[in-house]
Structure 1
């Protein structure tokens, strides 16, 4: 496959993005250059400022160069340094190293006799473990373990451990005895971190390998290490826990994780992640206490609604031919320094004047009736063709208000 050559414009664009401290993913999207090549160019830009003008190699690697790459990589040189030295991409270096490893494995004739000899050395105790044997011979640890199991099966019921012969039956009996001892002395139903760590540590003191103890408990070895590390961190005592506890007590447990993280960052002089704070607050019972919302209960009037139909007498005809023939009324809230005041008014559509008004602390039926009582009347009556129009709120549609309007000689309209 031919090697792709990038133009000078592309390299200049990439260099400008390097100067802007862009991430590899963003540069790849903007320039179309793979991230593996971007890492190589980044290393070149740190070594020399004129890397853009340098010519890229187009000829393939020779056999001598491939051997030299494998040799230098074995001495500790990174793929990036090798790519700069030989003028190729990092992917090319990786493929050369991978191919050399495959060739070494294929050249090593792993016959049945060779596998049996390796397994025999492990069984007889010449190496401490299969891993040490694999490291010594340059093999895969799983392959050595597989050969050991196969060799033990071929020995027809006889297993040699540490130079002494034991039957497989006795080895199994010993294994079951240990499992029975674990069941009697430990609570296997408790899967807490402290219990699992204590069981594995106890078995380790008895000479049982950690991996084998974990397999008996049905957990992975990495799970044990993670739980033990977490337990050690909890036992050490994080200084943040003390700071969180003091602040929560002083603020009556009103701070959440994000607000607490901001406070701790200012207090300690460095950024503290809110997720870490949330985890510490949860583990040590320092979460904020959510107070229930106080519900405000309003006393409402139980008004008796009118039983007859509500008619719209005006029908949106707000023009009037004479005074006090068409009146409209409503209530509104007015803000004042002490709070709110409800203003109830009645307006004459003939001259658009307020003919009656009253104020109160709330929109009640008493306020509407008090406004009606302030209307200018002749002997307590309005003109016979007077109409008082309002909305269909509970106050204006109540039976008491309708009776008060009719007592004045007017007709209600909605």
Structure 2
């Protein structure tokens, strides 16, 4: 990958392994920095070329310096414009920077260090640091500093060449480290997202199993216990047959609910246009009254499934645990909200209320599943005493404007 983008991976230090190839963020940043180096060189060439040509003797020296200026300008422009295409040449042929260094030294001979061309020698070690890292920048920075010191006789510009090489290598190392940290953070976030998705799916499957097959299997176990007791009494064969039919019916119901659960798991949950009123009417049977108030909108199938499951669980709890004789299910639109309530005339809640987490720890997951379903669709669930008499009321509030 590095050979295609024009950057070498950082050299290993000590016994460390070679780091991973540069990421897209690092590559783009390094390419942008290299382009800025050539843009700076183009500007300095444009400003300093007249000074260099004016200080050059007529004849062959003018042609030599002019050719060096023109060639350096053209090469800088080509690399500035098409770095992705020509940049890998610097990686495969490191000696090309030596040619670049020779051209800058030739221009520096005819111009003073204080002229714009005096800053051109800084570009070579800076570029070496960006492309090759610390080792490449050390070689070219030292060589460029020696050439500058020999040509100008001063050490200020030579010291700046050393600093430019170190700056290029430091910037490159910083970008690699920053990119590696960004990649590690991205991978960590991806792993957390996968773990959260797995946890959410496990909870969803647990709710679906609890609200369908688990209840039927519990009833099947009770019917089987009754059958075993009845079969021990040969004086009442009719009761044994009745219990056997109950066991068979519960087994068939469990099989049907298993197939329905598997079908729901494969069904598209984002299908819009489900009538909540029609889904709730399926709960109406002996002792259960279903009413609607206002114009109920059509819901996505996933939202409707959660609403119906909450109502169904509340009805089942009223029958099984509260010994209720009458249950009322009502779905009403109150302004921008949908209010789904299930009220029963059973024995009501314990004196201290209900602790959902304690019930879940004891193996009773009904209320926990209802709470999770309400939260999944952006609703709020409240379980409390019935306001008009003995019994329990389950209320789910859902803002119709929520996604």
Q: TM-score if structure 2 supplies the norm length? A: 0.24
Larger radius of gyration: 1
Larger RCO: Structure 1 or Structure 2 (Cα < 8 Å, ≥ 6 residues apart)? 2
Flag the structure with higher helix content. 2
